[in-house]
Amino acid sequence: MKKRLMAMLMAAVMAVSLTACGGGGSSAGSDSSGGDGKAKIGLSMPTQSLERWNRDGAYLEEQFQNAGYDTILTYSDNDSGKQVNDIQNMLADGADLLVIAAIDGEALNTALDEAAEAGVPVIAYDRLIKNDAVSYYVSFDNYTVGTLQGQFVIDKLDLDNTDKTYNMEFTAGDPADNNAGYFFNGAFDTLKPYIDSGKLNVVSGQKDFNTVATEQWNTDVALERAQNILGSYYADGTQLNVWLCSNDSTALGVAQAIESDYKGNNDIIITGQDGDEANLKNIVDGKQTMTVYKNVSNECIATLDLVNGILDDKTIDQDFIDKAGWEFDCVYDTTSYQTSDGNNCNSLLLVPAVITKDNLQDLVDTGLYTMGDDGYLSVAQ
């Protein structure tokens, strides 16, 4: 009761001094803590059905506990209503700060309003939440993820130095995930000049995000759509050259469709993102060409240090990042992302990397993967 009372008394102060997405460059700390004297951090992850969120959740929990925090880790089964309940339960359980990877950011307004009323800071983790209750956004530069995929296609086909034309298709991510649009737009904007010039031909004509989106990033949904496209536009022997997929789970479905339904025998460029085990195996086997890798450990390190800074009442800016001594690049960005009310969201943006068959060792060097004698990678235990 004392803790909740203190949180309520602090709410007015927090509204002014805590940097929300529409605020300045500093953040007020929190003096509240769990019953054992440790600050309690709520970690709300969207699902365990995608490999990457299992990695993020487990690694975040491990890092925060090693740093002396109590943690509450939940997975919400891609159910926005469940995530709202999970967050409300975290607040009732005395969470001092929330780290949320949203299923659908717009569905969390009620829970985030409650967090703001209680004076509990919120970090949007990896996926932007367009609510002014959010103090900071920690992610990779999601538009750059798409530009890396698009540039990979340009370089692989040498589009700037050829008169050849190539056929391609797009598969994007979950329309409820704010990041999905950034991934797709980064790729499409990069490739648009070549589409406009005719060097790249989207045979199906499906080029807008809503048409190529994949609900919940589901592999089977991506598989079914790919099969329909192959059956409708490529069954006559038309050659497919590129399938740009926004992430690995959708790329997995597209690769399965191509293996079972494509009539040609040429190599096809397939992009992805995340570094999932099954997709890394496909890269080794030549069934997927590349993936954009976002180092989970780096994202967690940035989040942990940000939480420390918030709770220690430090000013969060580029100088804070530079002094952190991270062995990875990160930019403090105050203009690229906005809330639903049009306020800028203070963001810590890490830089992703392109992984192909030629540099798989880079993943092993992170310590997060191991490579077997067969050349396949596994997530380190």
Instruction: For residue 124, list its beta bridge partners.
Output: 100, 137
The domain defined by 142-273 carries CATH number 3.40.50.2300: yes
| C-alpha count within 13 angstroms, C-beta hemisphere, residue 374 | 9
Report helix, strand or coil for 296: helix
Q: Tell me phi and psi for residue 245, to 5 degrees.
A: -110, 140
- At the topology level, CATH places domain 2-140+295-350 in Rossmann fold (3.40.50)
Write the pLDDT tens digit of every residue in 133-168: 999 999 999 999 999 999 999 999 999 999 999 999
Give the chain's mean pLDDT.
91
Residue with tokens 């790329």: 251
Question: Please, which pLDDT band fits residue 36 given cuts at 50, 70 and 90?
Answer: low
Q: What does 19-66 look like in DSSP terms, one character per residue?
A: --TTS-SB--------TTSS-EEEEEES-SSSHHHHHHHHHHHHHHHH
Residues of 111-132 as b/e, b for ≥16 C-beta within 10 angstroms?
Answer: bbebbbebbbbbbbbbbbbbbb
Q: What is the Cα–Cα distance from 133 to 24, expressed in whole angstroms?
A: 14
d(CA 167, CA 159): 12
Q: 310, 191 in Cβ contact below 8 A?
A: no
Host H or E run for residue 167: strand 166-171
Q: How far apart, in whole angstroms, are the C-alpha atoms of residue 293 and residue 140?
A: 10
Q: According to the model, what pLDDT value does residue 18 have?
A: 40
| Stronger pLDDT, 348 or 23, i.e. the higher one | 348
Q: How far apart are CA 86 and CA 99, in angstroms?
A: 12
User: What pLDDT does 37 receive?
Assistant: 56
Structure tokens at 268: 């096809």
- pLDDT for residue 276 is more than 80: yes
Contact between 18 and 121 under an 8 Å Cβ cutoff? The reply is yes
The Cα 111–Cα 128 span in angstroms is: 15
Of all helices (H) and strands (E), which one includes residue 134? Answer: strand 134-140
Which is it for the CA torsion 210, 352, 221, 106, positive or negative?
negative
pLDDT tens digits along 227-242:
999 999 999 999 999 9
91-119 per-position pLDDT tens digit: 999 999 999 999 999 999 999 999 999 99
For residues 346 and 94, give the distance between their C-alpha atoms in angstroms, rounded to a whole number: 25
Distance separating alpha carbons of residues 161 and 331, to the nearest angstrom: 33
**Residue 211, H or E segment:** helix 209-212
2-140+295-350 and 142-273 agree in CATH topology: yes
Using DSSP's 3-state secondary structure scheme, residue 355 falls into strand
> CA–CA separation, 189 vs 315, rounded Å?
35
Quick one: pLDDT at residue 27?
34
Domain ranges of the chain: 2-140+295-350, 142-273
> pLDDT above 90 covers what percent of the chain?
86
* pLDDT band per the 50, 70, 90 thresholds, residue 89: very high
Helix axes 51-66, 296-311, angle to 10 degrees: 40
